[in-house]
Amino acid sequence: MAANTLLKEDILFENDNFFVLSKPYGVATLDDRHKDKSSMILIARAYHPQAQACHRLDKETSGILIFAKHPEAYRHMAIQFESRKVHKIYHAVVTGVHRFQEIEVDRPITVQRSGQVRIDWQSGKPSLTIFNSLEVFKHATLVQCEPVTGRMHQIRVHLASLKAPILADEMYGGSSLYLSQIKRKFKLAKNTEEEPLIKRVALHAYQIRFLDMDQQSVIEVTAPYPKDMQALLRQLQLHDQ
- What residue spans define the domains of the chain? 8-239
- Chain centroid to Cα 103, Å, comes to 19
The answer to whether 37 and 234 are in contact (CB under 8 A) is no
DSSP letter (8 states) at residue 33? T
So what's the pLDDT on residue 31? 77
- Chain centroid to Cα 163, Å, comes to 19
**Phi–psi pair at 41, nearest 5 degrees:** -65, -35
So what's the pLDDT on residue 37? 66
Give the pLDDT means over successive 10-residue stretches in the chain (241 positions).
Answer: 67 97 94 69 94 96 98 98 96 98 98 93 96 98 97 97 98 96 87 93 98 96 97 97 92
So what's the pLDDT on residue 38? 83
Active site residues: 58
- What is the per-residue DSSP string for 73-134? HHHHHHHHHHTT--EEEEEEEEES----SSEEEE--EEE-TTS-EEE-TTTPBP-EEEEEEE
So what's the pLDDT on residue 187? 85
So what's the pLDDT on residue 4? 61
**Phi–psi pair at 179, nearest 5 degrees:** -60, -35
Is domain 8-239 classified as CATH 3.40.50.10490? no
- CA atoms of 160 and 158, how far apart (whole Å): 5
